[in-house]
Amino acid sequence: MRRTIIFVNGNLSDLSQAKKIIKKTDFLIAVDGGASHFKKLKLIPNLVIGDMDSISREQRFLFPTIKYPRKKDKTDFELAIDYCLKNKFQEIIIFGILGDRIDHMMANIFLIAKLQATSCKLQIKIIEGNKEIFVLNKEIIIKGKIGDEISIIPVSEKLEGITTEGLYYRLIDDTLEFGTTRG
């Protein structure tokens, strides 16, 4: 399975989690200033994608880049996702997407949700510290331990057939609707 790790330029509370997850076989993509996270991890990205407005001059010339104009119809992150689709990656793990800008965070999650609605073969996971976000259109099994927290939040009109086991509030073939807080 072809897997890519994407670092966006958002704040990361804990880079050690990323270090544990990244494998030598992963294709590493920095979204513009996300290259700074790779530098902190002492890793070299395979590619830097973006308009290069938030990457240091030094890093701009150290790594292979795909440079886009500053005035464009897509964000640097969306261009990185387009690259992953074009190159047929099956799994994408994203770090640094939950930064300080809630508008960017929500737009990026909705972008991923739209993508997942059209492709059931692509696995996308967002990781920030010890938190993981899965945007899904299919079944998933998540193994955890007592005390772990999980939320199921629809980003489409409704989720049908939701069944959970081992959670405090169990769902059995339930439906969760967009814009509600139950889940």
Question: Can you give the pLDDT at residue 183?
Answer: 67
Question: Can you give the pLDDT at residue 120?
Answer: 62
Question: Can you give the pLDDT at residue 79?
Answer: 97
Question: Can you give the pLDDT at residue 152?
Answer: 86
Which segments of the chain have a pLDDT < 50? Answer: none
Question: Can you give the pLDDT at residue 140?
Answer: 78
User: Is the separation of the CB atoms in 31 and 49 below 8 Å?
Assistant: yes
Question: Can you give the pLDDT at residue 6?
Answer: 98
* Structural domains of the chain sorted by starting position, each given as residue range(s) with its CATH number in brackets: 3-137 (3.40.50.10240), 141-183 (no CATH)
Say what the pTM is: 0.87
| Residue 176, strand partner residues | 159
User: Is the separation of the CB atoms in 123 and 143 below 8 Å?
Assistant: no
Question: Can you give the pLDDT at residue 160?
Answer: 86
